């Protein structure tokens, strides 16, 4: 009996010690079945997390789970920043951007400035499955969607019409123009170039805020280590028609590489896309950097050039470890995100303090 107990204790030690090592110091490239799969998504979009997790539990692929999870936010119109009926542009129209990336094949499908089609991430996946392209935009993306069986639908709602009307009544404030006539800080357009250009310093504080955040970004690490990421958004409210932000751009809105991990960004896409934060975070994780530190490092890099930008990044590596980081500005000192994992009894909202 004593020998049996010693054998049992030895077995416990053998099992426990590696688990502790995985939590404290995961070896690069290693995967822990106890921590996989993991689903992580931006903001407290619970139904999106629950939907993605159910897809995985029912045997669906990681691509299926990202598509369905982000698609749930399109249906729910998450915070008005995803899906139809939100963020009208200067002409009052809602348009959509989305992408999905397969970290096994490095294939990306994306759409931008998608009009009159509600399921943007569904169309993005069809770009992977039925074309040799990566990104389709504008009216042509909508025509492609119809060929793929998606119906034309009105993306305008009473809420988006009200937002647009209120904006017009406030002399089109705020907007995204600068160095034009008439003065864009005081009146509506149409705007044009002045005869003599006097460049004004850009606003130091991002026009986007926690009340106007955008994008669901989702990263899934499957049991086998497959990494998939995706995004969906209706973009910046009152944007100039034709504007495309970071969300549908691989490496900016999200990035997935099954040899390293995945990341997704949210916030002021016009600033963040210049730094490819999702790609950079994945490359940091490839070098063995902890996911939280990887997220912090990309936020810190953007801070050097735009200290008051609004934004956050989520990161997960192939072991199932994850993290997030955000830039601290007035009104935005913490970032909420969702995590689903075998280590959690249900999809759980987590919070990180901004740096």
Q: Is 243 known as a binding-site position? A: yes
DSSP string, 94-154: --EEEEEEETTTTEEEEEEEE-S-S-HHHHHHHHHHH-S-SEEEHHHHHHHHHHTTPPP--
Give the CA dihedral 76, 81, 85, 89, nearest 10 degrees.
-170
Name the band, by pLDDT with cuts 50, 70 and 90, for residue 201. low
The most confident of 24-28, 88-92, 196-200, by mean pLDDT: 88-92
pLDDT tier, 215 (very low <50, low <70, confident <90, very high otherwise): confident
CA distances, 42 to each of 58, 135, 193, 195, 332 (Å): 23, 23, 38, 44, 14
Backbone angles phi, psi at 265, to 5 degrees: -120, 155
Would you call 105 a catalytic residue per the annotation? Answer: no
Band (3; pLDDT cuts 50, 70, 90): very low
Does domain 38-84+100-107+213-353 sit in CATH 3.60.20.30?
yes
In this structure, the dihedral spanned by the alpha carbons of residues 19, 25, 27 and 29, taken in order and rounded to 10 degrees, is 90
Please give the model's pTM, rounded to 2 decimal places. 0.88
Residue-wise burial string across 222-232, b where 16 or more C-beta atoms lie within 10 A, e elsewhere? beebbbbbbbb
- Which of 51, 215, 226, 233 is flagged as catalytic? 215
E strands present in the chain: 38-42, 96-102, 107-114, 135-137, 216-221, 227-233, 254-257, 261-267, 311-317, 322-326, 334-340, 348-353
Is 246 annotated in some ligand binding site?
yes
Contact 243, 89 (CB under 8 A): yes
Q: Is the pLDDT assigned to residue 180 strictly greater than 90?
A: yes
Residue 269 is labelled as binding a ligand? yes
Residue 266, annotated as binding a ligand: yes
Model confidence pLDDT, tens digit, residues 223-237: 999 999 999 999 999
């Amino acid at each position: 009996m004593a020998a049996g107990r010693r054998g049992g204790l030895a077995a416990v030690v053998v099992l426990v010690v590696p688990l502790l090592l995985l939590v404290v110091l995961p070896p690069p490239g290693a995967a822990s079945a106890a921590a996989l799969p993991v689903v992580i998504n931006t903001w407290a979009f619970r139904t999106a997390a629950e939907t993605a997790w159910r897809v995985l539990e029912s045997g669906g692929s990681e691509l299926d789970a990202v598509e369905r999870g982000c698609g749930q936010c399109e249906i729910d119109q998450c915070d008005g920043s995803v899906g139809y009926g939100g963020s009208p542009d200067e002409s009052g129209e809602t348009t959509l951007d989305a992408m999905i990336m397969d970290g096994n094949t490095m294939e990306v499908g994306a759409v931008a400035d998608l009009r009159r089609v509600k399921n943007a991430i569904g169309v993005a996946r069809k770009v992977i499955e039925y074309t040799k392209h990566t990104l389709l935009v504008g009216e042509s993306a909508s025509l492609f969607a119809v060929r793929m069986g998606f119906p034309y639908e009105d993306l305008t709602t009473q809420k988006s019409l009200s937002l647009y009307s209120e904006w017009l009544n406030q002399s089109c404030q705020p907007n995204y123009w600068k160095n034009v006539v008439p003065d864009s800080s005081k009146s509506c357009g149409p705007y044009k170039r002045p005869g003599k250009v006097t460049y004004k310093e850009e606003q130091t504080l991002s026009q986007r805020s926690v009340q106007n955040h955008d994008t669901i970004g989702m990263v899934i690490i499957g049991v086998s280590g497959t990494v998939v990421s995706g995004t969906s958004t209706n973009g910046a409210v009152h944007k100039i028609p034709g504007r495309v932000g970071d969300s549908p751009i691989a490496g900016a809105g999200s990035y997935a590489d099954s040899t390293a991990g995945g990341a997704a960004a949210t916030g002021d896409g016009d600033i963040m896309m210049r730094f490819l934060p999702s790609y950079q975070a994945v490359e940091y994780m490839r070098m063995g950097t902890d996911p939280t530190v990887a997220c912090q490092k990309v936020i810190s890099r953007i801070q050097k050039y735009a200290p008051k930008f609004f934004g956050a990044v989520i990161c997960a590596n192939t072991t199932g470890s994850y993290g997030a980081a955000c830039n601290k500005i007035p009104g935005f000192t913490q970032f909420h995100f969702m995590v689903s994992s075998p280590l959690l009894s249900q999809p759980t909202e987590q919070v990180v303090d901004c740096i």
